[in-house]
Amino acid sequence: MSEATSSALQDFILAEVVRKSSEENVRSLIEKKIDEAIKGAVDDAFRSYGSVYKQIQTAVGNALAVGDDINVPAYGVMVMNLLREKLDASVSELLRGKIAEDMDELLKIAPKEVKFSEIVESMIRHAKEMGNGWGKVAVFVEESDYTAGSYHVGIDPDGDQRKRYECDTQFYVDAAGKISSLTVNRRDVNKIIGIAPYWGYQKTIFSAYACGSKLIMDDLEPSLEYGDGY
């Protein structure tokens, strides 16, 4: 390389160094490195060993803490409520249809008024069909100590029952003939999920209760014996 050529190359290099060292160019490079440094710092901070990650982990842990004394029953209730919501949301159309069908059957037989004597007669017919054609049913009609014309009633096709609360069907009827506090098959109907199979006389009482039919207490001391054996 000639001396002239070498001198020209040096001048070019020096010129490039000066150009690359200009304030604008150096500023651009510095900004780029600063961005890289910030990104690296942020990445490191959010890694499992980073300070920010550890702070977030601590904050989340504190938020989820339930203390030393966990209220297990409360958690149980919460879980059951969640399960119930899921079951309600996912119940099949077949089950819905079955419940609707059973309810229609129970409610369509409810007239505006029902006579107590007719219910007893229906129960006696049921007792005859289930027995040998003769026997005795149980009927307890006890007037309320607090309200005249209101009665606590218990009926059962099994005449061996000795107390009202032993009967398979029990209810309270007020002076206006409204039935309340109904128990069928010794189970409170307000606490039963689903519909149990009821006998005819039970269906009549339930439908009267559900539809607000008036129960006329026309016979407070019905005959309990039936059939040729008496």
For residue 211, the model assigns a pLDDT of 82
For residue 49, the model assigns a pLDDT of 61
Residue 2: phi, psi to the nearest 5?
-75, 165
pLDDT along the chain (230 residues), means of 10: 62 64 64 67 64 65 56 57 62 57 63 93 92 88 94 96 94 95 90 72 89 93 83
Model confidence over 25-69: pLDDT tens digits? 666 766 676 667 666 666 666 666 666 667 666 665 665 555 555
Model confidence over 85-103: pLDDT tens digits? 665 665 555 555 556 666 6
Determine the angle formed by the axes of helices 116-130 and 200-211, rounding to 10 degrees.
150
For residue 130, the model assigns a pLDDT of 85
For residue 45, the model assigns a pLDDT of 65
For residue 133, the model assigns a pLDDT of 77
Would you list the domain boundaries of the chain?
3-63, 109-226
